[in-house]
Amino acid sequence: MNIVVCVKRVPDTETKIKIGGEGTKIDPAGVEFIISPFDEFAVEEAIRVKEKLGKGEITILSLGSADAQTIMRKAYAMGADKGVHLNDPSECQDTLAEAQALAAALKGMQFDLLLFGKQAVDYDNGAVGVQVAKLLNIPVVTRIIKLDVADGKAIVERESDMGKEIVEVKLPAAFTAEKGLNEPRYPKLMDIMKAKKKPLEEKPAQLEAPKLSIVKMDYPPARPPGKIVGEGEEAVPALVNLLKNEAKAL
């Protein structure tokens, strides 16, 4: 069983976002970067599938600036075997161009499972997994919360607009991970040391000219200052009055 997991380096979700000088990107100063949390579920799932089957190889694929290699090493420490870094010094902001570059790299790779997070928690488009699958002409199941692999097929449970679904899919196939799929492990110190020696191939990302441009980046509009209505249950009638007559929210 060969598994490829696509991961992206993003700012930690606890980070405050500061817009950079040029106004179309964030200021990375002081920001801690992590594997996008949904991608981390995907990495963990790949390791669990390999552990369960007792065989297989896990390849990490990441598109991004040179710093992407730091989070690839984190995935190695969790248990991935090797990886390919598609170097993109431009930090592309067009999800289609990114998907095309990932698909181009994947065309030369052998895999049964191709895993993504359901979205990277930076641009939040939530499209790359589906785009790559379409470009490779393989089926895709999104937002999976359970994955079982057997006999060239996968049975997955996924979140849908209806509730939950059980879906059967032929392999090779792509999947995007939703929270709830698993609880990612913390690598042990020894695994972190070993991760440094695992192979990491670097090549330039084959990026087409972006078909969209970011005109500007803004902060969300500030909320008008609120008020403390009072303390304890005595304040409740005043609150209900405000909700009913001022905010018209009831």
Partner 1 sequence: MGNNVLIFAEQMGGKFRSVAYEAICQGKKMAQGLGGKAIAVAIGAGVEAAAKDLGQYGADKVIVVDNAKLKDFTVDAYGKAFSEVVSKNDPAVVLLAATFQGKDLGGYASAALGAPLSSDCTEWASLDGGIQVKRPIYAGKAYVTVKFNSQPAVISLRPKVFLADAPDASKSAEVEKIDLALSDDDFRSVVKEIIAKTAGKIDVIEADIIVSGGRGLKGPEGFAVLEELAGLLGAAVGASRTVVDEGWRPHSDQIGQTGKVVSPKLYIACGISGAIQHLAGMRTSKCIVAINKDPEAPIFSTADYGIVGDLFKVVPALTAEIKKAIG
Report 1-20 residues binding partner 1 (CB under 8 A): 11, 13-17, 19
Residues paired with 14 in a beta bridge: none
Q: How many binding residues for partner 1 (CB under 8 A)? A: 86
Collapsing DSSP to helix, strand or coil, 67 comes out as: coil
* Pairing verdict, β 113-117 and 173-177: parallel
Instruction: Give the number of C-alpha atoms closer than 13 A to the C-alpha of residue 38, restricted to the C-beta side.
Output: 21
* x-or-dash string of contact with partner 1, 73-112, rule CB under 8 A: ---------------------xxx--x-------------
Shortest reach from residue 212's CB to partner 1, in Å: 4
Does 173 interact with partner 1 (rule: CB under 8 A)?
yes
Does 21 interact with partner 1 (rule: CB under 8 A)?
no
Looking at the Cβ atoms of 89 and 180, the one nearer to partner 1 is: 180
Q: How far apart are CA 222 and CA 171, in angstroms?
A: 48
Looking at the Cβ atoms of 4 and 144, the one nearer to partner 1 is: 144
Select from 28, 90, 148, 180 the one that contacts partner 1 (CB under 8 A). Answer: 180
Does 28 interact with partner 1 (rule: CB under 8 A)?
no
Looking at the Cβ atoms of 151 and 218, the one nearer to partner 1 is: 218
Q: Which residues contact 115 (CB under 8 A, 6 or more apart)?
A: 3, 4, 5, 6, 42, 43, 45, 46, 174, 175, 176, 177
Q: How far apart are CA 63 and CA 98, in angstroms?
A: 7
Select from 150, 166, 189, 190 the one that contacts partner 1 (CB under 8 A). Answer: 166
Interaction residues for partner 1, span 114-143 (CB under 8 A): 121-135, 138-143
Query: Which of the 8 DSSP states describes residue 58?
Result: E
Contact by Cβ (8 Å): 184, 79: no
